[in-house]
Amino acid sequence: MSSLRSILLGAAIAAAIAAAPTGAQTPLPTGNGTDAALQTPPATSPVMPSASAAPATKVLPKPITMAELLASTKPTDWRQPNPDNTLYLSLAQGKVVIELNPEFAPRHVANIVKLARAHWYDGLAVVRVQDNFVAQWGDPLNSKPEVGEKRLPAEFTRTAADMPFVRLKDPDTYAAQVGFTNIAPVARGGEGADAEAWPLHCYGAVGVGRDNDPSTAIGTELYVVIGQAPRQLDRNTAIVGRVIFGMDHLSSLPRGTGDNGFYEQPEQREPIRSVRIASEMQPSERLPLEVLRTDTKVFQKLIEIRRNRRDAWYKVPAGRIDVCNVPIPVRERAEDRSNDRPDRAERPAERRKR
């Protein structure tokens, strides 16, 4: 009987071993005291997350907006336009302020200032508004002014030597390098002593109209870009500045129905009330404008904000930007922001854009 019990006990143990799951972490089933010594102690198991536990999510910081960035600026991040190189173009709709740029076209700018000081532009008109291209003003009769230069050499480019330049890292279709001087978006090309720089036909750029002969560009015909940047014009005309205020007064004018957007009837033209140099105006007549400097860290942050739009509406940041899509903000000086200025009523559109 004892041998039979031994045989049966051995068979039971063998069956238990065969039925147990494989793996050292699973102990053998316990029995009476006879088979307890045959059990395998469990190994230590790592703590596994429960099926209901949510995976950890990285919390990204809230993206800063343009308004928040500009609100964080210091007074030294801004500059005031030089009143000797600032034009006030007065239309029925309001004032248009143009910051002239003598760094690139000094003789053209000097001649425009002479014409403005002589009040030569007063009573002329906007004669051409071509959709998605330019608005042009000047002398529709093409008469010769009694003041200033009658012919000027082309000032389409200048040497790049010693020119302040904040380079944009994104590639450009038209130039090897693009970026900013302190006044305008510009491009550079060439090497060494042959390196050149030129301003760009971005929205708001002001250029000098001409015939086929470049010397006919003397400032009696001026135009402003009101559409998508016509960069094919770069290095073919003298760009003398850019509009820093009142751009909507020009871009919203009725389009001309003639060839290239010229008005076909004199009564269609938009009269120019006056053109004045800021330094000749009373302080109360000027707008207290200041322009964000492009050689600052805050301007580099602005470029990154525009390059990678992460506000709620955007789902896919572009990761790059065209030089003409980088805004150079303009605002009223903080000490002059008040509700009792007589000219505030004509500027709601500008405030919304900022």
Q: What is the pLDDT of residue 197?
A: 97
Does the pLDDT at position 17 exceed 50? Answer: no
Averaged over 172-190, what is the pLDDT?
95
pLDDT at position 60 is 61
Predicted confidence (pLDDT) at residue 20 exceeds the cutoff of 50: no
Higher local confidence (pLDDT), 10 or 304: 304
The reported pLDDT for the residue numbered 40 is: 43
| CATH class of the 82-288 domain in this structure | mainly beta
CA distances from 101 to 87, 195, 203, 328 (A): 11, 20, 16, 15
Range with the poorest average pLDDT among 20-24, 70-74, 131-135, 245-249 = 20-24
Question: How confident is the model over 135-164, as pLDDT tens digits?
Answer: 999 987 777 788 899 999 999 999 999 899
Residue 24: predicted pLDDT:
41
- Residues 292-315, mean pLDDT to the nearest whole number: 94
Domain boundaries, the chain: 82-288
